[in-house]
Amino acid sequence: MSSMPMAQSPEILCRVLEHKDVPIVASLFCSAFVSLENEVSRAEERIENEVSGAVVATVDDQVIGALFFDLKFEGYRKALYIEQVAVFPHCRRLGACSSLLDWSAGVASQFGCHYIFLLVRNENVDAISCYERNGFVVRDSGVIAPRSEDPKIIRMECDLTSTRQLFPGLLRQKL
Ligand X SMILES: CC(C)(COP(=O)(O)OP(=O)(O)OC[C@H]1O[C@@H](n2cnc3c(N)ncnc32)[C@H](O)[C@@H]1OP(=O)(O)O)[C@@H](O)C(=O)NCCC(=O)NCCS
Interface residues with ligand X (CB under 6 A)?
Answer: 32, 65, 85-87, 92-98, 120, 124, 126-127, 129-130, 133
Pick between residue 93 and residue 164 the one whose CB is nearest to ligand X. Answer: 93
C-beta closer to ligand X: residue 34 or 76: 34
Q: Rounded to the nearest whole angstrom, what is the least distance from the CB of residue 7 to ligand X in the complex?
A: 14
In the complex with ligand X, the residue whose CB is nearer, 50 or 112, is 50
Say how far apart CA 56 and CA 1 lie, in whole Å.
14
Letter string b/e over residues 3-27, b meaning 16 or more CB atoms within 10 A of that residue's CB: eeebeeebebebeebeeebbebbbb
Please state the closest distance from residue 102 (CB atom) to ligand X, in A. Answer: 9
For residue 68, the minimal CB distance to ligand X (Å) is 11
User: Least distance in Å: CB of 37 to ligand X?
Assistant: 13
**Residue whose CB is less far from ligand X, 42 or 133:** 133
CB of residue 171 to ligand X, shortest distance in Å: 20
Q: Are 21 and 63 contacting, i.e. CB atoms less than 8 angstroms apart?
A: yes
Q: How far apart are CA 84 and CA 63, in angstroms?
A: 16
Rounded Cα gap, residues 35 and 146, in angstroms: 14
Of 93 and 152, the one with the shorter C-beta distance to ligand X is: 93
> In the Cβ-directed half-sphere of 102, how many Cα atoms lie within 13 Å?
22
